[in-house]
Amino acid sequence: MSAASCLLSEDQFLCSICLDVFTDPVSTPCGHNFCKNCITQHWHVNVPCYCPMCKKVFNQRPELQVNTFISEMAAQFRKSAQKEASSRSDQRCAKPGEVPCHVCTGTKLKALKSCLVCLASYCETHLEPHRRITVLKTHQLIDPVENLEGRMCKKHNKPLELFCKTDQLCVCLLCTSDHKSHDIVPLKEEYEGKKAELGKTEAEIQQMIRERHVKIQEIRRLVELSKEAADREMADSVRVFTALMQSVERGQAELVHMIGEKQKTTEKQAEGFIKELAQEITELKKRSTEVEQLSHTEDHLHLLQSFPSLNTAPHTKNWTEVRVHRSSYEGSVRRAAAQVEETLSTEMKRLLKAELKRAKQYAVNVTLDSDTANSYLVLSDDGKRVNCSDVEKNLPDNPEKFFACPCVLGKQHFSSGRFYYEVQVEGKTKWDLGVARGSINRKEEITESPLNGYWTLWLRDEKVYSAATGPDVPLSLKSKPRKVGVFVDYEEGLVSFYDVDDAALIYSYTGCSFTENLYPFFCPCLDDDGKNSTPLIISPVNRTD
């Protein structure tokens, strides 16, 4: 029985219903075998009864008898399988990608070790001689690897046991003659060193992975913030345009109603005049008839007696100065449009106030960089104030310093994101403010324009404001700013200037293309005999306004 079971595969002792080795196997009239419980349950659920294998239908449920032969074979197979599983509990067939045993015939078991001397890999069973025989015990065993031939020196057919650090090559003992005076160490020593380096590399990689996870979270957060901003802008746009449309509709309705009421008044007045005139016409026609009749009478006495009352026209109204005053609608549409404009202005003020408040959330601590300051400029110790004097200071020639113009840059530079700062300009008659590229020419007279790397705003003659767009754009401001806010969105290509106190937008550069570091730019301009001696002051930003 044992010999027979060895010739049979496990599939031949599996129930086709439960897919396990038979338990109480029974045979159906059609000759197929199943576990007794499996076929009983199958027939209990499926009526009429049929064979799960050949689908033969039985009009009556067959009586089942245990197949003693199959039962004994299944029991013997189960016992043999358990014994084999016990003896090979630590072994299993090699899967794709795993190193197989080189000695196994038929089914290749997974190798547990590879021998660098034998250049072969062994499963648990075939590894046994290396653990028992003294000579084989001296062989070097490693975790199973493919391509053992690659571990042999192709020139000397000896194991690669050494490492030439000079040539960065694995060599055998006989190769040392070709590597005289080279730094050669045992393979294990170099292995430990390289392993330590790999540990550092792994740590660096893990750190990079963590940094990228953090960056992912940062990007996701930025997307969330962007969505919040988009939702906020959409809500604002809906509210503003709804208010505008309501204002337009309300103004139109009021205008139409007013025009209609005026026209009704005119028509009512005209109707009154027409009615009154018609009454007078009736009376005049009556008098005309009476006068005509009297003029044809032959009764002398009657004519003379009636003459005094009919000789004059009936008393009527003097219509000479009476006019139907046509309603005037001059300015009505303009006044209605002015109401819409007022609504728009109110909404614009509210939006600009909210816009400036958001810009302030990106406030940065800007300080002046003395290394860039022109020799005529005077900077405060805290780097927050600058004005121009009449005396040139003796300063070393710094390549970053402005030579021909009284300008200075901020120490801080920006190559991404958003930033905002405020500068007090009250009391000055002229100044320049904005941002500039790091590569601007600082040794010659400068011409501020985006083409030359400047995005600035300037004041001249105390009241003339312009954006240095090249050519300059004159600006008409309702009030004179005392404090100017500068906001930059690097990725959006936006530079905006605000009147901080009035929460009003002065000017915006849009669609800019930034490719370099941007620096805050300040020019207090010449002293002008004391008229422009007030310094530019970098002010702290109140984010709650």
Mean pLDDT of the chain: 86
CA atoms of 196 and 199, how far apart (whole Å):
5
CA atoms of 161 and 171, how far apart (whole Å):
6
> Is residue 529 scored above 80 in pLDDT?
yes
> Is residue 498 scored above 60 in pLDDT?
yes
Lowest-confidence range among 74-83, 163-172, 406-415, 502-511? 74-83
How long, in residues, is the chain? 545
Report whether 22 contacts 38 (CB < 8 A). no
> Is residue 135 scored above 80 in pLDDT?
yes
**Nearest one of 381, 375, 428 to 402, comparing CA atoms:** 375
Q: For residues 120 and 512, which has the higher predicted lDDT (pLDDT)?
A: 512
Q: Can you read off the two tokens belonging to residue 515?
A: 């490719």
pTM for the whole thing?
Answer: 0.52
**pLDDT at 419 (0 to 100):** 97
Helices (H), 297-398: 300-310, 332-360
> Is residue 119 scored above 70 in pLDDT?
yes
3-state secondary structure of 121: strand
**Nearest one of 445, 496, 447, 506 to 474, comparing CA atoms:** 506
**pLDDT at 329 (0 to 100):** 66
CA atoms of 174 and 187, how far apart (whole Å):
14
**pLDDT at 11 (0 to 100):** 63
> Mean pLDDT throughout 392-415?
90
**pLDDT at 436 (0 to 100):** 97
2 — pLDDT class (breaks 50, 70, 90)? very low
Report whether 457 contacts 497 (CB < 8 A). yes
Lowest-confidence range among 24-28, 202-206, 210-214, 522-526? 24-28
Report percent pLDDT > 70 for the chain: 95
Q: Can you read off the two tokens belonging to residue 461?
A: 């003659």
Lowest-confidence range among 72-81, 513-522, 526-535? 72-81
Report whether 148 contacts 136 (CB < 8 A). no
**Nearest one of 83, 126, 84 to 101, comparing CA atoms:** 126
> Is residue 30 scored above 50 in pLDDT?
yes
> Mean pLDDT throughout 333-342?
77
CA atoms of 440 and 119, how far apart (whole Å):
69
> Is residue 4 scored above 50 in pLDDT?
no
**Nearest one of 187, 191, 159 to 172, comparing CA atoms:** 159
> Is residue 516 scored above 60 in pLDDT?
yes
Angle between helix axes 300-310 and 187-295 (nearest 10 degrees) is: 150
SS3 of 452-480: HCEEEEEEECCCEEEECCCCCEEECCCCC
CA atoms of 228 and 187, how far apart (whole Å):
60
Greatest mean pLDDT among 160-169, 326-335, 502-511: 502-511
> Mean pLDDT throughout 439-445?
89
Answer left, alpha or beta for residue 65, where phi above 0 means left and psi between -120 and 50 means alpha: beta
Q: For residues 140 and 501, which has the higher predicted lDDT (pLDDT)?
A: 501
**pLDDT at 10 (0 to 100):** 58
Lowest-confidence range among 209-213, 224-228, 413-417? 224-228
What is the residue whose two structure tokens read 């349950």? 41
> Is residue 210 scored above 90 in pLDDT?
yes
pLDDT tens for residues 158-186?
Answer: 878 899 999 999 998 888 888 888 999 99
> Is residue 265 scored above 90 in pLDDT?
no
Q: Can you read off the two tokens belonging to residue 383?
A: 């780097």
Q: What φ, ψ does residue 460 adopt, rounded to 5°?
A: -135, 150
> Is residue 232 scored above 70 in pLDDT?
yes
pLDDT tens for residues 360-401?
Answer: 999 999 999 999 999 999 999 999 999 999 888 887 778 899
Q: Can you read off the two tokens belonging to residue 69?
A: 């032969």
